Amino acid sequence: TIDVSNLNRQFLFRKADVGRPKSTVAAEFIMKRVSGVTVEAHFCPIQDKPADWYRQFQVIVMGLDSIEARRWLNAMACSLVTFEVDMETGQRKPDLTSVIPLVDGGTEGFSGHVRVMYPCVSGCFECTLNLFPPQQAVPLCTIAETPRNAAHCILYAHLIEAPKQFGDEKQDKDDPAYQQWVFQRAEERAAQFNIPGVTLMHTQGVIKNIIPAIASTNAIVAAACANEVFKVLTNCAAYVNNNLMYIGGQGVYAPTFRYERSPECIVCGAGVQVEIASSATLTQLL
């Protein structure tokens, strides 16, 4: 759903839309702006849709906000590809009529990227997973015993105090009431250790893992994604092969380069061959 923090990073939502599904509001905005266009909104996790639902599309745009969601959708697109066997070489080749192109876009601050992927033909998202920096985790002992900044206090309220207060009941991180509760507990925690900087906006950013976003960067990357979709569908020009980086922190720099497909990719390739004794246990294999 739409949160107040979403309003400064894009042009589709207004203050009156806070609390409404993003897909519904976006669909309404587009149909109002562009006459003759029909947009069907879906308000559910992408995992809820079956394979046949994804198979109906000519191209899929991955406007997602996490690596996990991108990996899932990439795997789904690869699973839809059927293969033919070359009678001369015996090699499996993807049936291009079953390949649904993926266009992926993402931003962070003044930087962004656009990728065009053909599942099981070009390098897929999983092929390049090692290029992403590892997620920085804060030791739980630091959060519980020796907090050093405002984020530690917020995480203490969110990860340690909330389970005590609410038990097994899962809290909605988009719920303003829950955000306010975490903010108040984090303020109390910060006061105990004389740590400044706990605000409601910072609290929302920490518990929802919000990455700083800039409306102009989002607009540039979204336009580049739309441009690639248009080229893929119409064949009017060559599409990006297969990655475009946008670096706008100091001027405008937008290089393109090609991600190669990994033959050992567990999603679109043959996988990794492992030799192990038949008597080995699962623990030994892992």
Which positions are catalytic? 141
DSSP code at position 129: G
User: Closest by alpha carbon to 63, among 224, 247, 266?
Assistant: 224
Alpha-carbon 112 to chain mean position: 13
Closest by Cα among 35, 75, 99, 3 to 268 = 75
Q: How many helices (H) and strands (E) does the chain have?
A: 10, 7
Are 198 and 2 contacting, i.e. CB atoms less than 8 angstroms apart?
no
**Tally of residues, the chain:** 286
**Under 8 Å CB-to-CB from 55, ≥6 apart: which residues?**
80, 100
| Beta-strand relationship, 60-62 and 83-85 | unpaired
105, 246 Cβ separation under 8 angstroms? no
Residue 173, CA distances (Å) to 124, 168, 186 in order: 31, 15, 15
Residue 194, phi-psi category: left (phi > 0), alpha (psi -120 to 50), beta (remainder): left
Question: From the centroid of its chain, how far is CA 53?
Answer: 20
Token digits for 242? Answer: 């297969």
